[in-house]
Amino acid sequence: MPEGDANPTTDELVALGLFDPDAPDASERLMLLELAVEHGAAIDEITLALAQHRLHTLAGELAVLAATKRATFAELAANAGADPEFAERLWRAFGFADPGDEPLVCSEADENVLVLFTALADLFGRDTALQIARTAGASLARMADAAIGAVRARIEAPIRAQGGDDVDVARRFVTLATELVPRLYPMIEAVHRRHLAQAGRRFTLWELPASETSTVFAVIGFADMVGFTARTQELTPAALDEFVRAFEDIVLATLTTAGARLVKLIGDEAMFVAGTAADAARIAAGILEGVAENRDLPPVKIGLAAGEVLVREGDIFGPAVNRAARLVAVADPGTVVVDAEVASRLDGDAIEPLGPRELPGFDVPVEIFRVCG
């Protein structure tokens, strides 16, 4: 429980207008207030939660934070020995809201984050440290959204469907926060350690030596489902979720080589990167085959392009990325189209020249080829 003012009493809550014992929902409101207070909620936090209609989530939020104290952000930075201006930029890079001047519910772990990134800034420079923070923040925000989405769909919705109220939901949230959430962090550490080792291995398999601009030679692939927009109009949200998940599972199942990685999934499109043209072609063929075997999915078309690219914040940038994105637009359903660089690295019998094509964003026509078989 965070250090600070003593827990507010029921009389204080009444005096502050936060609880009306004569209201029709007084019993439920009091139980929610007591649960929040039990987990260290202060008056200002209760007031804000009521204004935002999330009193039922407040105790769970405090349990997730595992807070031990309250401090302003300036105090956090000072305790961590972090430069205030850099600490604020770091906070924003993680994707957090402006901390303002009010005390935050926090813990020693929050200070340790600032300590770590101050050390990273000393080692790599502030710009690189902020890039790492942005990547970590974006990745963990996606993970958090997925987890909360699952809780809402698989926990809260059934409770309410069975007649449960805010108190039932709040108590379940607290149970999850205290029993399940702490078990997530050993998992994150183990998975991240393995990804670090795998990323190091992958970069050594790619062709260009290390550079200060973090460039490598790689093959970029885009896989796009045909007619996705029209198909989504026919699906319920639940069916759409299964539809997209089926596509994602197929893509992930093909990325089994050490030199390849999924860059991102955007609904109907997947972007991946591989160290060799052969690996990229195998991945593309696997995606086509997997989608063809699933009768619920529309056909997929794939574009591959190769060249020197910039690796930044977990994403890939460069002309090869743009070519791959444009190539997938001119591919026929169920086919793989590649640029000249990829074609030159594949067996000549495996490709069919399609001639030059005008592609948006390119000043001269681009020679394209179809992968056969």
Q: What is the pLDDT of residue 211?
A: 66
Tell me the HSE value of 89 on the side-chain side, using a 13 A CA sphere.
15
Q: What is the pLDDT of residue 54?
A: 93
Q: Find the distance separating the first CA and the last CA of the chain, reported in whole Å.
A: 63
pLDDT tens, position by position, 326-342: 999 899 999 999 999 99
Task: Tokens for 218, please give them.
Answer: 């790689």
Q: What is the pLDDT of residue 6?
A: 60
Dihedral (CA of 17, 22, 25, 30) sign: positive
- Count of beta carbons in the 10 Å neighbourhood of residue 21: 11
Q: What is the pLDDT of residue 98?
A: 85
∠ Cα 142 166 22 (to 5°)? 145
Angle in degrees, 0-180, between the axes of helices 84-93 and 73-80, rounded to the nearest 10:
110
Q: What is the pLDDT of residue 5?
A: 53
Q: What is the pLDDT of residue 167?
A: 96
Q: What is the pLDDT of residue 210?
A: 67
What is the mean pLDDT of each successive set of 10 residues along the chain, which is 373 residues long? 64 89 92 93 90 94 90 93 94 89 89 95 93 90 89 93 96 95 92 85 68 80 87 78 86 82 86 92 93 89 93 85 92 94 89 89 88 83
Q: What is the pLDDT of residue 265?
A: 85
Judge contact between 263 and 221, C-beta under 8 A: no
Q: What is the pLDDT of residue 3?
A: 53
Q: What is the pLDDT of residue 209?
A: 67
- The segment(s) of the chain belonging to CATH 3.30.70.1230 are 204-371
Helix (H, G, I), strand (E, B) or coil at 274: strand
Domain 204-371 -> CATH class: alpha beta
